[in-house]
Structure 1
Amino acid sequence: MKKEVLKIVKIGGKLIEDKEKFKAFLGDFVALDGPKILVHGGGNLATEIAGKLGYKTQMYQGRRITDADSIKVITMVYGGYINKNIVAGLQALHNNAIGLSGADGLSIISKKRPVKEVDYGFVGDVEKVNSEFINSILKQNITPVFSAISCTQDGLLLNTNGDSVAAEIAKAMSSLYQTELYYCFEKKGVLADSDDDDSVIEKISWKKYQELLQEKIISDGMLPKLHNCFQALENGVEHIFLGDFRLLQKDSVYTKISN
């Protein structure tokens, strides 16, 4: 018997901040057939709020260092303001939704990242996803909306990479569904030329990925994103797509990742 398709969609903070584009995206998301999960970040707003509170945001090689003050702000902004606004937006479009962090139902269990070259502080790497709990929500025709916050077995909240959260959920749910993973960000897809928004690479296989790495076409934030993609493909995820806010539209331009 063929499994039902489950779509896991990750959106970045820049899309959330653009009201018009985000409104269009939500309409497309609600129009998706079948069960779906939304995962979101919100780093820019967390940085802005932290500054207003007098907290300094520290970064290392593009990654946020989450100290004791930062995790408070991230929990408030990701798990509170952004998460509940997305849920409210979905409810307004008659899509029943519930906002969650990894602590809810112990749905995303992580461990604190060990200190190596740098101490990232309260940052977590996902160890386990509670697929049964998430499935119990989906079976009630409710859409889970996950903020990028996970939790240790001992109850410690940790800031967690949103792309990784989406990939780990997709991998875990692949035992129950045919899972598809969508990364919506500010670009139309993976670009052959970072200065040309129309230079979208439509398909990237593992072989093509290695070529792009050698040619240094892929760099910066796209490196961990594609790393997550190929790990997900190796662990049960069927299809992965990357594109901008129009990614969920039928005639959109995007990058498809395949083995």
Structure 2
Amino acid sequence: MIFVIKVGGNVIDNPELLQRFLKNFAAVPGKKILIHGGGKIATRIGDKLGIESRYVNGRRITDAETIDVVTMVYGGLVNKQLVAKLQANGCNAIGLTGADANIIPAVKRPVKEIDYGFAGDISTVQAAPLKALLEAGLTPVFAPLTHDGKGQMLNTNADTIASSLATALSAYYEVRLIYCFEKKGVLHDANNDDAVINLIDRQIYQELLEDKVLTDGILPKLENAFAAIESGVKEVLIGHADDVLSNTSDTVAGTLIR
């Protein structure tokens, strides 16, 4: 089995939690891929450069100045720091964006009610070069960036990149897609970190939606999870970053989605 693991921005922003996560990720046996979010670092650096961050419905508006900032920060600073820290933990990582080896071509999101700017919607995933890296013993580490094939970088949701990579690799491997963040899993009660729902299938998901148990923040992860499963991924797990070793074993600690 191969593990496609996405680590959230709140983990990236927490140095102690990130250090523990990377040490544990490096210890995960076998083939694995890491996809990281951006955290608040791009916002902080943009502020220093006088570039204001704008959001609509929680999504960043990526104008011409902002795509330069996120490309530098996500594809450069954050990505290479993660790679260097993984190397220090004995994991032979290689940092990538979707433009590298043309692995994740995308299209600029069409303007409808909102113009998200240089936001990318994934067209396809070229799994062959990714498989070659994995078979060579390398651990790919993806920044949340894609490209349009015409020279333009695009800002793309990291959860979606993780789901798309997992789906593409399911043609070659059994895949477990894991979303690691600061909660222990999908919760019955957002105010109780121990109220973990251990298993969710489509029927349970519909019941949770009807009962309005789920918070808005977890819904995109669940939609990406079911999209991956319906496209060939064996299973998806949502759990705490500290539990990544458990969640790459047979004894899972978070929410398993089938």
**What TM-score bracket applies, with the shorter chain setting the length?**
over 0.9
1:191 and 1:20 mapped to 2: Cα distance? 24
Report the TM-score, using the length of structure 1 for normalisation.
Answer: 0.95
Q: CA offset at residue 252 of structure 1?
A: 5.9
Deviations 1:197-228 (A, max 9, x none): 11111111100111111112223221111100
1:69, distance to aligned residue in structure 2 (A): 0.9
2:222 to 192, 205, 226: 226
Contact 2:28 2:245 in 1 (8 A): no
Q: Secondary structure at the match of 1:75?
A: helix
Alignment map for 1:56-95 (pairs within 5 Å): 56-95=52-91
Which of 133, 147, 150 does residue 151 from structure 1 map onto?
147
2:37 maps to which of 37, 41, 53: 41
1:99 correspondence with 2:114: no
Matches of 1:117 and 1:222 in 2, distance apart? 24
Higher mean displacement: 26-35 or 161-170: 26-35
Is the Cα–Cα contact under 8 Å of residues 39 and 147 in structure 1 kept in the other structure? Answer: yes
Aligned residue pair count: 254
- Superimposed CA distance per residue, residues 33-63 of structure 1 (whole angstroms, 9 cap, x where no aligned partner): 1110000011311111111111111111111
Stretches of structure 1 lacking an aligned partner (at least 5 in a row): none
CA contact (8 A) 2:190 2:215 kept: no
The counterpart of 1:248, out of the listed 232, 244, 253, is: 244
* 8 Å contact kept, 1:170–1:237: yes
Question: What SS is found at the alignment partner of 2:160?
Answer: helix
Distance (whole Å) between structure 2 residues aligned to residue 217 and residue 57 of structure 1: 31
Q: For residues 73-107 of structure 1, give each alpha carbon's deviation from its aligned partner in whole angstroms, at most 9, with x where no partner exists.
A: 10011000100000001111111111000110011
4+ runs of 1 displaced by more than 6 Å?
none
Match of 2:206 in 1: 210
SS at match of 1:246: helix
Secondary structure in 2 matching 1:43: coil
Report deviation, 1:27: 1.7
1:22 maps to 2:18: yes
Quick check: 1:103–1:155 contact (8 Å CA) kept in 2? no
**1: CA distance between counterparts of 2:13 and 2:98?**
23
Give the unaligned 5+ runs of structure 2.
Answer: none
Contact in 1 for aligned 2:27/2:245 (Cα 8 Å): no
Instruction: Tell me if structure 2 keeps the 8 A contact 1:50–1:70.
Output: yes
Q: In structure 2, how many angstroms separate the alpha carbons of the residues matched to 1:19 and 1:127?
A: 34
Corresponding position: 1:124 with 2:120? yes
Shift in Å, 1:26 = 1.2
Q: TM-score, normalised by structure 2?
A: 0.96
* 8 Å Cα contact 2:12/2:39 also seen in 1: no
Aligned residues: percent identity? 47
CA contact (8 A) 1:12 1:40 kept: yes
